Amino acid sequence: DTAVSQTPKYLVTQMGNDKSIKCEQNLGHDTMYWYKQDSKKFLKIMFSYNNKELIINETVPNRFSPKSPDKAHLNLHINSLELGDSAVYFCASSRTQSGQGANVLTFGAGSRLTVL
Amino acid sequence: AQTVTQSQPEMSVQEAETVTLSCTYDTSENNYYLFWYKQPPSRQMILVIRQEAYKQQNATENRFSVNFQKAAKSFSLKISDSQLGDTAMYFCAFMKHRSGTYKYIFGTGTRLKVLA
């Protein structure tokens, strides 16, 4: 009954490959996010979707393409992987209406990507 | 642009003692949310406490409390009766809602070690 689940948890791949990370939330939240955490633990927003619509797209290379087939899913596809893409990628979701628990980010367990 | 600063990269505290983690932020907004998240070695990001800027009363959650000073743009976290399980990275975060966009900005984190 995991609230926000990401797969895979670990991913090791060669430079130049294409890979995807999947994310699903069963909380009924209307907004989902992708964050990147680098080796210094800095967390940076990459994308945000609200009801399947892209609402935040930070300065991220266009090799990164998010896809939201429905409100409960937000997948991240990365083309032509580079060494600098090595990081932990976190999916998160939130409920943006008012009330108890609103606007609190619930995170997945993270996906550690290592590019060799 | 909003920024969040955590000036203590590392801290340590003896078990059962009290420790305070600092966080300052910069914004011209009047309504916003502030959070503390904990990231233990397991990598999972866990919400510790949340504060709405319009509320003057400081938020508390069991052993965790905040000192929210809106005019000074300060949001420190106090952990009382520290436990070994409190050992983790602690991230301060700021969130502002504008035009359907919910953007969370994280500080660089404070690594807390609780000593037996």
Rounded mean pLDDT, B44-52? 94
B88 pairs with which residues across the strands? B112
Chain segment A58-83, per-residue pLDDT in tens: 878 999 999 999 999 999 999 999 99
The domains located in chain B, with CATH, are 3-115 (2.60.40.10)
Average pLDDT over residues A86-108: 86
For B17-37, what is each residue's pLDDT tens digit?
Answer: 999 999 999 988 888 999 999
Check whether B6 has a pLDDT greater than 90: yes
Cα nearest neighbour of B111 on chain A: A41
| Residue among B39, B43, B102 whose CB faces A31 most closely | B102
What pLDDT does residue B88 have? 97
Compare B54 and B13 and report the one with higher pLDDT: B13
pLDDT band at B89 (very low <50, low <70, confident <90, very high): very high
pLDDT for the residue numbered B45: 94
User: Distance, in angstroms, between A105 CA and closest chain B CA?
Assistant: 8
- Give the model's pLDDT for residue B103: 82
Residue A2 has pLDDT above 80, yes or no: no
The highest-level CATH class for domain A4-98+105-115 is: mainly beta
Cis peptide bond prior to A8, omega within 30° of 0 = yes
Kindly state the DSSP code that residue B59 receives in the 8-state scheme: P
pLDDT for position A98: 65
Least confident of A20-34, B83-97, B99-113: B99-113
Q: Give the type of residue at B43.
A: R
Say if CB B31 and CB A100 are below 8 A apart: no
Per-residue model confidence as pLDDT tens digits over A8-57:
999 999 999 999 999 999 999 989 999 999 998 999 999 998 888 888 77
Q: Is B2's Cβ below 8 Å from some Cβ in A?
A: no
Give the A:B interface size as CB pairs under 8 Å: 57
Residues from chain A that touch B50, judged by Cβ atoms under 8 A, are 103-104
In B, minimum Cα distance to A100 occurs at B50
* Angstroms from B12 CA to nearest CA on chain A: 18
- CA A76 and chain centroid, separation: 6
Sketch the domain layout of chain A as residue ranges. 4-98+105-115
- Torsion, Cα A97 A98 A101 A104, to 10 degrees, reads 60
